[in-house]
Structure 1
Amino acid sequence: MKNQLFASTLALGVSMFALAVPAMAQDPATAPAAQQEAPEQQAAPVNVSDIVVTGSRIVRDGYTAPTPVTVATTEELARTTPSSIPDALNKLPQFNNSLSPSKSALNFSNAPIHGNVLNLRGLGTPSANPKGPLRTLILFDGMRVSPTEYVGTIDTNVLPQLLMQRVDVVTGGASAQWGSDAVAGVVNFILDKKFTGIKGVAQAGISARGDNGNQRLGLAYGRDFAGDRGHIIVSGEYSNSDGMLRSQRDFANVGYNFVGSVVGCTPPAGQPTTLCSPGGPLNPYTIGTDIRISALAPSGRITASSVTGNPFVGQVINPDGTTRPFNTGTPVGTTGFQSGGDGYKIPTTGNAIAPLETYTFFGRLSYDLTDDISAFVQGSWSRTNLIYSTQVNALVPPSQAVSIFKGNPYLTPALDASLPTANDYITIGKYDAGQPAPIAKERTDYWMVNAGLNGKLAGLNWTVTYSHGDSVHTLANSGLYENQKLYAAADAVINPANGQITCRVLLDPTLASRFAGCQPIDLLHGDPSASTPAGYAYATGTSRYRATIRQDGIAANLSGSLFDLPAGPIDFAVGVEYRKQKLRLTTNADPALLDTAAERSAFYAGLRGVPAVNGFAGTAPPLFYWLTNVGSAEGSLNVKEAYAELAVPILKDTAFFRELSVNGAARITDYSTSGTVKTWKVGATWKPVDDLLLRATLSRDIRAPNLFELYAGAQSGIGIVDDRPTSGLNQNVPTVTSGNPNLTPEKAKTLTIGGVFTPSFLRGFSLSLDYYRIKVTDLIDTLSAQQIVTNCTNAGGSGVPECSLITRATPTSLPSLVSIVPANIAFLKTSGIDIDASYRTALGNGALGLRLYLNYLQKFDAQQYAAAPIAHYAGVNVVSSNPAGFPRWRGNLSIDYTNGPFGVTIAEQYIHKMRLDIPGGPLPIQFIDDHVKAVWYTDLAVRFTIPHGDGNFELFGNVNNLFDKKPPLIPGTVPGVNLPTNIAVYDFIGRAFTAGVRFRF
């Protein structure tokens, strides 16, 4: 099937919106002139004067909102990017560092952040431990969409894409009109409520390298009934992606990594050691190959022994059980790393894109009860299945180490002889000895139901709506080391009764029933799943959790005109809303159940050599499973809101004041968790002449903490920490992250100033330019494990709150646990300019459309806490395990030509050059070469329409990344965590093809 698809693909793929309809407009005021140029063969354009733009709650024909709004028709979004509407939106420069199936790291399964989660202005980043963008409000036909995942994010793939008419993107603060979360703006998916007929799509795609196959099927139907008083629409959609592994891209298999460039760097006398830290002024980063972590070896390494001076400590365990000296490879300028040799790295067998399957069903029934009152009820259901491999099982000291005691039959005679007494042991660590990777299977079932009445009364418009959202997310991460069983299976002995190898616990009558079924595991002969398959099966299990988040809301709105002024009517909108949310997460691996010495002692009773239980003081305990230990969570909140908006015309049709109007909005919100907060917005529009509209807004916006930020239970993780100033080590350290019920709302101030130029002397041309400035204070963020350790170290090891979050066995040992808690500690400032230019005209017998979207990022500054340095992100390509990019310039230029049934589109995406950096540290990070060149991506698309009866078929073909532009080489600082590029910014799939058919009757 893939070969047939590849051979039949028509080529020529994606565009930025052209002619058939007004496509994308920074404001509806830019569209009418362009519509007048549309040739007769095009479809009837959308009547822009009837559009109620999301920038305002006020319904007023021809009203131009003072807030910049991008209006994107879904027909053109699908034409340019057939995979999905969110994928198409993410090609616009207003969106930055969004999450999508191809832009998410898949090393852990602690948080479900792998869907299409939109990130306006990049305000969902940066974050030390992100759960996904949370500062963009998502609406469905003006109604707030409930979270699709328990972490508070919304996967926009769950919305019925075939029945969407357009998407309104408000690129400024809108909390006064729409409520919390609209700090960066609003994305409102507008439903085609009056769709009549039948339409569908069938398509398939594949990369030029034969991977990442994908398919999409969809069908929608609509009709009137009861003498046109009623209307029904239904749709069903299916999409599937086969995904791809990291190893399927050659540059992922080289072992690229940023490391210090100066081996043995020593700071001048009296100077701080940080000068020689990797990336420090005296040890700038360079790109190394085959970089490995020196602490362990894949087949195993002896890291410690109860016997002082044991000669085998530090040696590598060969697959046959013998030992040899550790091969240190080629030294690099990062302590604990090496090039080649016996170290380890995260293998490339993980997923770069996880296989993803989505089902979506939607139905809506509306009926005119009277000439002035209508009722509707609508509902949708979606299911998303995701499967991917997580990090391989590992034994990572100090907390995830295993001790092998004298008498263990898997010890070689030499190793056994090095242990004089029965209670002596060696401690081993190993990583990726060839055992199968654990598999994470995630499923999200999402229900959304809306019902309401709307009508007219005394010339006013009113609506009353009820909405319900229900998300059930389940995860099963199978094949993980189950630590209690692992320690029982690893403590193997000879059964004196029959001479067979068995688990020691089975010979103890007080333990035998508790560990019934125990099979010994051999950790000293390479891959334990091969040497002792029964023992490996016993020692591995499945970490599971189930999370439910529900939202119920009631809203009532009233809008219309109060009275007329000489310049026109004074329009208003008022309303009240009530929402209630409830979160419940249950799990079989809650770290809180092992957070006391008594609980750990009871859980691991009868087992030998368990860290933090059997004499390993100061060491964090091993939890239930390797890596995936998600804590229970439960909580609820309710929100009461009231808002009012007013639009007042001041002048009209006078000299230099063809129009002058002001707009204001205010909202008061009461959260059961954090109290009362007020938001407001003021704006104005001025038309000195017919061809020019000037506008400005100033607003105060908020984002309240969500339930997961407030009530999340402890979740385990792991990450590299450079602790050289204290312990001299640069190794993996366990972390535990939890919620904070004392969080308060984030607060933002947003200013936009701009204008729209539609010259009458150049019909079909429009230009909008808007300046924006956003400042967010009391921003909810978390410090990374590295930042916590660094801050404590810089304070001398005590005296700052961060030190209380660190557990060490001794004052100079590597941290065995770092606790991470969110807090209102940060602020963020960003500013820039949005430019939108379009030109549409007839050319020959067809129609030509050109469109340019451009964003200039002037500033993006963040400070993670009051004493931290301000991090400057504008123009920076962030090197991190959670990479992000903030190019100064980002744009999208498209050229579309339609002639009769044939259409072709060429689109260019531009990402400006950036410099490499890791902002926010006490010293500037240095690279031998910190330049990242600008990148252009060319997409092409062709389409051919075949009329049939009252409808038509449209055959289409797309080529994404036509010239197969390779992503810049930007590895991380931890071997193997991600592909060696910035996955949040650049395309790593390469040239890819899509072909299919759309039809409508």
Structure 2
Amino acid sequence: MTSTPPFARGRRLALFTSAGIAALAVSTPAFAQDADDTIVDEQAAAAPEADNAIVVTGSRIRRPNRDTLEPSIVVNADQIEERGLTNVGEVLNEQPAFGPPASSAVGGQSGSFGSGQSFINFFGLGSQRTLTLVNSRRYVSSNTASIFGPVAAGSQVDLNTIPTLMVDRLETIAVGGAPIYGADAIAGTVNIILKDRFEGVRFDAQMGIAEEGDAQEYRLGAMVGTSFADGRGNVVAAVEYNNTEGLLYTDRERTAQGLFYAAPNDPNSPFDNVVISDRRIPILSEFGAPTTADIVPGFGFDITDGSGNTLVFDANGNLTPLDFGERYGVVNSAGGNGFSLLPVSNLLSPVERYLGALTATYDVTDSITAFLEGQYANSKGTELRSQPVYNTWLFDDAGTPDGNLIVPLSNPFLSDEARATIGAQLPAGQDFFYLGRANTDLIAGEGSSEVEVYRVVAGLRGDFYLGSRNLNWEVSGLYGRSRTEGRSRELVQQNFENALAGCPAGADSSPIATISDICAPFNPFGNQNTQAVADYVTTIANPTATNEQYDFIATIGGDLFNIWSGPVGFSIGYEHRDESADFDPGAFFFGQPDPADPDAPRTQFGRSIPIDPVSGSYNTDEVFGELQIPLVSPTMDVPFVNLLEAKGAIRYVDNSLTGGDITWTAGGRWKPVEDFAIRGNFTRSIRAPAITELFNPNSAIFTTADDPCDARFINAGPNPAQRAANCAADGLPANFTSNIVDFTTRGSLSGNTELENETADSWTIGAVFTPTFAPGLTLSVDWVDIALEGAIQSVDAEGTLEACYDANDFPNSACDRIDRDGAGQVEFIRTGYLNVASYDYQGVIADLRWTEATPFLGADSRISLRGSYQYIDKLEQQVGTGDLSTFRGSPGYSKHQATVGVTYENNGFGAFTQIQYIGENVVDPDAAPTSYQFFERDEIVYMDAGISFRTENDFTFRFIVENLFDRSAPYPAPTGGGLTTYFDGIMGRYFKVAATFGF
């Protein structure tokens, strides 16, 4: 269970939340929210000349080729342009090794706390465990340092802020980047290489539109580059504008079906959960549901007509029969005219981006080069709609902010007919009634997040000779700053009460400023309120988050000495890094302090609990070194050993908060023959605690949990006998019913400055086939194994309860976090971050690249084939002593996934097709097949295709069709990882047209 976020307005019956008021369709498990890599494209860039050494991602040692020990992939600019992709996140998410993104524009409901941001999820181990670099250097995070941020706490990079026009190539490696680049590279490293050599001017324009005629996408860009000082310097600058329009769930046939899992009505059903369509919540009404007692409709206290039909208000304030549809339990129904979440659920968030980047180099001397990088980004994501604030018995007692409204029969907005009908059914002497309401007419509008990023890098690099040895060096410093400003319309409770009471004379308005300070009476019946009412009862909340980063790196490397097989390569260096993050919830979310007692709990202005600011910083001092030792070279003519080399790297990280730690890697490469190589490595990686995990203040939450001592769960857990004994020792009977299971309970969530680094032991072994008889062919296959221990987890109420009652040492420190009353009910629970989780990933990744001249298809023609594949053998998570959760084979983590593309080029004409294969999967790998109807999702293939024409005057036209055959998503379309995985099928056929002109 999780704490209630500020936009979840309420704290009462888990019956409501657990039945999924926040779930918008068929729910599925989510993993590591919030991959192996995918392999090396040895031909993504032209092979360097023998005397031009290069540096590849995963090493700082210059080498004559792109061979790596780690599984790796390179995606170059031509491939990005060919696909018409406008976001780096889109490029990476097409690779099978990347799991469903932790955050993206698809399915976002983040409001003002990170709407539309793009964070990748390598290997499904969580976005906080992928290190993202730009030109091999760190990039400032745009993640909000708050428990209410869009993804898990960490230093994730928002890929919305990178202009694709400026990208030269994307390089990724699995596991082994930690000793080279430092903390956070547990799953892998993504290195975005920007163009630093370009001469001329290029203009780019692109437009996309769905076959449905919506979801338009626009991009305009320009890039200019020039050399100066007789070629000693070069500067490249690019600007880019992107605008993507949004969609609601009601805009697509599959999501508009309102598919949802509910317990069956048929006691003989073979399934524990069945799929219902047109999911409604009949006990809620956006126009008002009157009752004679403090309850929801359907429990015998309804207002009814002469035929016994339950009455609710319609949009015009008249009483009309409620059609319950086919009811499934208390909350859900299939059909009818109850409240639907679909019109207030985002399928695709609009995102508007202004991007700019600059790179410059200047040869100060023949052996010293100065370089400069600068990036600017302004990215704004918006939610088209948001859930309203609710007044309902489900959340609290009548008369409280979240409970039913208490409305007098004398309310002037009540029609005479409705007054008579309701009055006739009230108990004797009662002159008021209760009204439940989903206030969509007050708040269901746009929430947005605007991210602004500045980053500048400056440095020097060069070469020099020490004796006969050529050495290279580099010194650089960078500064990065991101600021995220949220904006959302929020209900102000005091003004709402004033408006509901008809604006009585002398009533005090809230001290928080609202959009209008002029009270306008609130009509709770129907949808008849004016904008003046909404403006008086709402304010604009503006939470802000700021991240800053300073990084200084100095390295020196080259040939250390020569041995029998060649030079031993080395690189050593020092890095100092400062990271800071601040989150200011703004006056509204912060709440009102008690002037008489500043330490007392603050009073919320609206329906959300007060949110605390977060502020913290740390710094690191790091030293690192790397060796590459050639043991056998091809010139030695050793039988069955064409090449044998060993590599090792180590880094010591001294973190000002978590202390010293060591990350290292050791591996090697063996080529028995020239055409075939075996490679492998073992790596110890670390992830430092994030500022939110360290410094989050003691924040109030409302939460639910499966209490281990409840009779429904007493026989579960890793050791049911131990659990039962501990519960009995705590004085709880075997038939105990715990309220926290069904009713939200007060608690707290706090950071932990005693957290330690996460550690992962990982290894890979693989083979690379580069046949001399087919010089354009490269095939690589690698096994990847990642075992992460001590992962930082926000241990929620359920985890805290399990840690107490499932332990052999009872009572323990976890029990001290739980307060029970005299009847054994949990009345308060303290939760927080601990190093208690573990993750295991095992899988195979393979990559195929083949480019071949095809003169029989055109004198200058060639065909390129590329393919990436992932097989997931294990993907598991365990928190403390809790149950092991398996995600291999769930939506978004199919056991088999592949992407294959073919490109044909001939004299300015090009054509490509790409297929994405998503293997079969199941709703929940840990559940029995009878747990869910439609337990399995069939495999599916989506195909994209495009053509391009280039004229002699450097004008290029491209036409692209995504989801060429308009394949739908498997039934039923799930939320969570499945929504992003099958988004092509939900969107439908999509067209893109692009043009590029340069000189």
Q: TM-score range by the shorter chain?
A: 0.7 to 0.9
2:94 paired with 1:91: yes
Write out aligned runs for 1:453-468 (5 A). 453-458=460-465, 459-468=470-479
Q: Note if 1:983 corresponds to 2:977.
A: no
The match for 2:287 is 299
Name the residue aligned to 2:721.
Answer: none
Kindly state the Cα deviation for residue 254 of structure 1 after the two structures are TM-superposed.
Answer: 2.5
1:474 equivalent in alignment to 2:485:
yes
* Gap change, CA 1:676 and 1:957, over 3 Å in 2: same
Q: What's the counterpart of residue 890 of structure 2?
A: 876
- Contact 1:442–1:473 (Cα < 8 Å) also in 2: yes
Q: Is the 8 A contact 2:948 2:958 kept in 1?
A: yes
Counterparts of 1:49-88 in structure 2, within 5 Å, are: 50-62=53-65, 64-88=67-91
The amino acid that maps onto 1:519 is C
Q: Which SS does the other structure have where 2:979 is aligned? A: coil
Q: CA deviation at 1:78?
A: 1.9
Cα-to-partner distance string for 1:96-136 (whole Å, 9 max, x where unaligned): 21246443422x42531632222211111xxxxxxxx1111
Distance between the aligned counterparts of 2:252 and 2:798, measured in 1?
Answer: 30
Q: Are 1:691 and 1:757, in contact at CA under 8 Å, matched by a contact in 2?
A: yes
1:72-108 deviations in whole A, cap 9, x for unaligned?
A: 21222221243334312221112121246443422x4
* Counterparts of 1:469 and 1:176, CA distance in 2: 23
Q: TM-score, normalised by structure 1?
A: 0.81
Residues 1:338 and 2:333 aligned together? yes
Q: Summarize the Cα distance change of 1:870–1:730 in structure 2 as closer, same or farther, 3 Å threshold.
A: same
Q: CA deviation at 1:395?
A: 2.0
Partner SS, residue 124 of structure 2 = coil
Write out aligned runs for 1:574-973 (5 A). Answer: 574-589=572-587, 593=591, 623-626=604-607, 630-653=611-634, 654-712=638-696, 726-727=738-739, 739-782=751-794, 821-843=832-854, 844=856, 845=858, 846-863=861-878, 865-877=879-891, 885-917=892-924, 919=926, 926-948=931-953, 952-970=954-972
Aligned to 1:440: 447
The separation in 2 between residues aligned to 1:182 and 1:720, in whole angstroms, is 34
**Alignment match of 2:498 (pick from 481, 485, 488):** 488
Q: C-alpha offsets along residues 297-350 of structure 1, whole Å, 9 cap, x if unaligned?
A: 333335785899995699764247687897654232x55323344643423243
- Structure 2 CA distance, aligned partners of 1:781 and 1:348? 34
Give the unaligned 5+ runs of structure 2.
1-36, 146-154, 305-309, 713-736
- Aligned partners of 1:323 and 1:164: how far apart in 2? 60
Map residues 289-368 of structure 1 onto 2, 5 A cutoff.
289-293=277-281, 295-301=283-289, 317-319=312-314, 328-332=324-328, 334=329, 336-341=331-336, 343-368=338-363
User: Structure 2: how far apart are the matches of 1:597 and 1:870?
Assistant: 48
Residues 195 and 359, structure 2, Cα contact 8 Å, conserved in 1: no
Aligned counterparts of 1:432 and 1:298: Cα–Cα separation in 2 = 6
Closer, same or farther: CA 712–946 of 1 in aligned 2, 3 Å: farther
2:796/2:832 contact within 8 Å kept:
no
Question: What is the CA-CA distance between 1:965 and the residue it aligns to?
Answer: 0.9
Residue 323 and residue 794 in structure 1: after superposition, are their counterparts in 2 closer, same or farther (change >3 A)? farther
Q: Distance in 2 between matches of 1:748 and 1:446?
A: 31
Q: Which amino acid aligns with 2:666?
A: V
| CA distance in structure 1 between the aligned counterparts of 2:990 and 2:189, rounded to whole angstroms | 31
Secondary structure at 1:98 match in 2: coil
Contact 1:477 1:628 in 2 (8 A): no
Q: Name whichever of 865-874 and 408-417 sits farther off.
A: 408-417
The answer on whether the counterparts of 2:116 and 2:351 sit within 8 Å (CA) in structure 1 is no
Q: Could you list the per-position Cα deviations for residues 349-406 of structure 1 after superposition, in whole angstroms to 9, with x for gaps in the alignment?
A: 4331111111111223322222221212221111012222221232242162254265
- Structure 2 CA distance, aligned partners of 1:383 and 1:834? 36
Report the equivalent of 2:3. Answer: none
Deviation at 1:715, TM superposition (A): 7.3
Rounded to whole Å, the distance in 1 between the matches of 2:670 and 2:210 is 49
SS of residue paired to 2:980: coil
CA pair 862-729 structure 1, distance change in 2 beyond 3 A: closer
CA distance in 2, matches of 1:718, 1:339: 29
Contact 1:242–1:354 (8 Å) recurs in 2: yes
Matched, 1:207 2:235: no
Distance in 2 between residues matched to 1:224 and 1:511, nearest whole Å: 61
Counterpart of 1:765 in structure 2: which amino acid?
L
- 8 Å contact kept, 1:198–1:219: yes
Match of 1:222 among 222, 225, 245: 225
Q: Which amino acid aligns with 1:395?
A: N
Match 2:140 to one of 138, 142, 146:
146
User: Alpha carbons of 1:627 and 1:897: their partners in 2 closer, same or farther (altered >3 Å)?
Assistant: farther
Do the aligned partners of residues 433 and 789 (structure 1) sit closer, same or farther apart at CA in structure 2, a change above 3 Å counting?
Answer: farther
RMSD: 4.0
Q: How does 1:198-277 map to 2 (within 5 A)?
A: 198-262=201-265
Relative distance call for 1:455 and 1:602 in structure 2 (3 A) is closer
Q: String of CA shifts for 1:914-967, please: whole Å, max 9, x gaps.
A: 111175x8x89811331100010101011111122xxx2211111111011111
Contact 1:262 1:283 in 2 (8 A): no
Partner Cα distance (1:962, 1:215) in 2: 20
Deviates more, 1:223-232 or 1:722-731: 722-731
Length-normalised TM-score, structure 2: 0.81
Alignment length (residue pairs):
889
Change (3 A) 1:906 1:60: same
5 Å-filtered alignment, 1:399-438, equals: 400-404=402-406, 406=408, 409-410=411-412, 412=419, 418=426, 428-431=435-438, 437-438=444-445
- Post-superposition offset of 1:598: 8.2
Q: Which runs of 5+ in 1 are unaligned?
A: 1-23, 36-43, 125-132, 266-280, 493-500, 605-620, 878-884, 973-977
Match of 1:166, SS? strand
Check whether the contact 1:591–1:715 (CA below 8 A) recurs between aligned residues: no
Asked if the contact 2:130–2:186 (Cα under 8 Å) also holds between the matched residues in 1, the reply is yes
- 1:448-597 matched pairs, under 5 angstroms: 448-458=455-465, 459-478=470-489, 480-490=490-500, 492=501, 501-503=502-504, 506-507=505-506, 517=517, 519=519, 521-522=521-522, 524-527=524-527, 530-531=528-529, 533-589=531-587, 593=591
Alignment partners' CA distance in 2, 1:205 and 1:718: 43
What pairs up with 1:375-390 in 2 under 5 angstroms? 375-388=370-383, 389-390=385-386
Shift of 1:209: 0.6
Greater displacement, 389-398 / 302-311: 302-311
CA distance in 2, matches of 1:196, 1:346: 53
Cα 1:599–1:925 change in 2 (3 A) is farther
The Cα of 1:912 is off from its aligned counterpart by 0.4
Percent pairwise identity: 26
Whether the 8 Å CA contact 1:778–1:826 is kept in 2: the answer is yes
Partner AA of 1:338 in structure 2: S
